[in-house]
Amino acid sequence: MFELIQVDGVDLICYDNGDIWKWFRNCKWKKYESNDPHYYRIRINRQRYTIHRLMMKAFRNFDLKSELVVDHRNGNIHDNRLENLFVVTSQQNNWNRKDVKGYSKRIYIKNDGSKSITWRINFMVNGKKMRQTVDTEEKAHLEYLKLKKLYHII
């Protein structure tokens, strides 16, 4: 399945498998290909667009200037198949990050020169920061997972 869209006066054909073809002035279509380690982007009239946002524009009438985020279900940013993409808020997108521990080590130097080590759990719900302090890394990890299960529901 494919959709024809126009972005900044340039015609694009978007296929549901994530392929995008761009119309060039010399009257030919060319498939967009990238080996970029980051999000795949296409340049149109000096403006850069990510492929996954263009896919949502083509198939789901997504506004490219929207504050909403297009997320990848399987976490692979190069898998731009339509079935792998969905629209979420910025907060929901951060919930899906795999590289976040959710807690940090805090070291305090007391007046007598001794160190006090605690672990702070950092969490955000509806734009409000939540913090909790525990005494071991294991407790911090378990508490973070408990909070994530409670609040991070998509």
For the stretch 72-127, pLDDT in tens is 988 888 999 999 999 998 877 877 766 667 788 888 888 888 888 999 988 877 77
How confident is the model at residue 82, as a pLDDT? 94
How confident is the model at residue 99, as a pLDDT? 62
How confident is the model at residue 100, as a pLDDT? 65
Residue ranges making up the domain that contains 120: 100-151
Together in a domain, 42 and 104: no
- Least confident segment among 6-10, 43-47, 91-95: 91-95
Together in a domain, 88 and 104: no
Confidence of residue 35 (pLDDT cuts 50, 70, 90): confident
Together in a domain, 57 and 112: no
Together in a domain, 118 and 144: yes
Assess whether pLDDT exceeds 70 at residue 154.
no
pTM over 0.75: no
How confident is the model at residue 153, as a pLDDT? 64
How confident is the model at residue 126, as a pLDDT? 77
Average pLDDT, the chain: 87
CA–CA distance, 140 with 29 (Å, rounded to integer): 54
Together in a domain, 32 and 58: yes
Number of domains in the chain: 2
Together in a domain, 88 and 129: no
Confidence of residue 19 (pLDDT cuts 50, 70, 90): very high
Cβ contact 71:86 at 8 Å: yes
Together in a domain, 128 and 84: no
Together in a domain, 118 and 87: no
Backbone φ, ψ for residue 114 (5° rounding): -80, 160
Together in a domain, 120 and 68: no
| Residues contacting residue 131 through CB under 8 Å, at least 6 positions apart | 120, 121, 122, 123
Cβ contact 94:102 at 8 Å: no
Together in a domain, 55 and 129: no
Together in a domain, 76 and 26: yes
Together in a domain, 89 and 104: no
| Six token digits for residue 18 | 């994530």
Among 52, 77, 94, the domain-final residue is 94
Cβ contact 48:17 at 8 Å: no
Percent of the chain exceeding pLDDT 70 equals 96
Provide the H-helix boundaries in the chain: 51-60, 90-95, 137-151
Among 94, 124, 140, the domain-final residue is 94
Among 50, 69, 94, the domain-final residue is 94
